[in-house]
Structure 1
């Protein structure tokens, strides 16, 4: 069946470090887009990045600085990288599959 799973549930980072969050997927990813979201405790989810088939990367509009995503097809995963983290980046990050 189709499905995705985050690789780890939580990460602690030092201010200014970069961090990579990983999301595994299975099933026919070719027909899907994988989206990354960030959610602060008091607000609704905020779209960060979309990666679709043929490796098309679509950032949020306007783009969120320091956030990038890339697909690793061999390992069936999509990595979200946040460079130079801030305390204000502390939030829930999650990925979602959206059939196209």
Structure 2
């Protein structure tokens, strides 16, 4: 039996006039799929991906350092999932969150 996933990339406005907009507000897939969430942005020092389940606080997934494009999942508090990776395009205006082998528990906002 296949389980369906629904992932959201929420529209977020960041301070100093920087704007982040989702390429697709909702992404659908099935368990085991490789899923990509994408956002365009106007400028940034770092880009951070979080997920949020209803009624809970946002959960850190990863940070991308804008100048170098280096991705870090380091956290002293939590073991982070290696299925999550991120990348910034060459022009540094677009960021992706890639989820490999998606699980039903990845369905979040």
Q: TM-score over 0.5 for the alignment?
A: yes
- Describe how 1:1-100 pairs up with structure 2 within 5 A: 1-27=17-43, 29=44, 32-52=45-65, 53-61=67-75, 62-74=79-91, 76-92=93-109
Distance 1:65 1:9 in 2: 24
Distance 2:71 2:58 in 1: 19
1:80-100 alpha-carbon deviations (Å, 9 max, x no partner)? 0000011111100xxxxxxxx
> Contact 1:35–1:50 at 8 Å: present in 2 too?
yes
Aligned length: 89
Separation (CA, whole Å) in 2 of partners of 1:11 and 1:55:
24
TM-score using structure 2 length: 0.74
SS, match of residue 88 in structure 1:
helix
Output one character per residue of 1:19-39: Cα deviation in whole Å (capped at 9) or x when no partner. 000011113x3xx11100000
Greater Rg over alpha carbons, structure? 2
> Unpaired runs of 5+ in structure 1?
93-100
Q: Is the 8 A contact 1:33 1:51 kept in 2?
A: yes
| Runs of 5+ consecutive residues of structure 2 not aligned to the other structure | 1-16
**Structure 1 outlier segments of 4+, above 6 Å:** none
CA deviation after TM superposition for structure 1 residue 2, in Å: 2.0
